[in-house]
Amino acid sequence: MRLTEIIKIIFYGIVEGITEWLPVSSTGHLILFESIWPLALSEAFLSMFRVVIQLGAILAVCVVFWDKLWPFRSDIDEDQQKGIFDMWIKVIIGCVPAAIAGFLLDDFLDAHLFRWPVVAIALIVYGVAFIFIENRRGSAKSKIKNYSDMTYLNALEIGLFQTLSLIPGTSRSGASILGAMLVGTKRTLAAEFSFFMAVPIMFGASGLKLVKYLIKLETALTAVEVVSLILGMLVAFVVSLFVVRFLMNFVRRYSFAIFGYYRIALGVLVFIMALLRPGMMP
């Protein structure tokens, strides 16, 4: 494995670690990055790689929010433990729609929607949505300030919005955060709940992608592929440790509107890149 390819994998992990949690679409960034600096690996492997390296980012959430995610700690009382279990029930309810849709539509989405026009349009449309919703909310108080305020129906509603992230360029965190804000959730809780829903969703999606790839391959992963996956996940994990903390601190003081403007700019850039360099983007 050449040094240049190792450097590329490191950069891919950095891009994934940053964009998985910010509502700006990791897919949009990876498409743009691949068009500029493609990896010398098969497209079948890259399709799986884009999803599986997200496991590193997911593990970072488990580390950062361990106290809120693990109910079997000795330093909490029974009521706190029940609160964590209740939160997990809401997380699972929120994951069900995307899990079902993703399992049924995975191959169709890869074959028909993983195209730069879809990604660019999704980036722009949801960028406008973030700006519109933040402007409409203004200084209005949120009705859902903690998990006890959130009903199981609210969790399902947020989960239905998360299914929109199956469209490349939408952003899983972006779709779920938008859904949470629309049902009246405060920004910090919307971001946190989006992070928590990512844990079972991305473990399931990564497992599905890896199994499908191995079935099609009918053999084991090569040494280069194993190194690429492990290195990409490790870098994504380290970067995500910082990004998750950054976003939680950011949304305590600022709105998501800035990400809306960024998404619009990125969507326009994807359009320009595709027009200037036809054939460089899927």
> How far apart, in Å, are the Cα atoms of 242 and each of 195, 232, 247, 253?
14, 16, 9, 17
pLDDT score at 79: 92
Q: Residue 153, Cβ neighbours under 10 Å: how many?
A: 10
CB atoms inside a 10 Å sphere around CB 226: 11
Residue among 99, 109, 108, 127 at smallest CA distance from 269: 127
pLDDT at 138: 63
As averages over each run of 10 residues, the pLDDT of the chain (282 residues) reads: 86 89 83 78 80 88 93 90 96 93 80 80 92 79 90 96 88 90 92 92 82 76 86 94 92 89 91 74 56
pLDDT at residue 207, as a whole number: 82
Longest dimension (CA), the chain: 61
**The predicted structure's pLDDT at residue 142:** 82
- Per-residue model confidence (pLDDT) at position 233: 92
pLDDT at 205: 79
Domain boundaries, the chain: 3-276
DSSP of 41-78: S-HHHHHHHHHHTHHHHHHHHHHHTHHHH----TTS-H
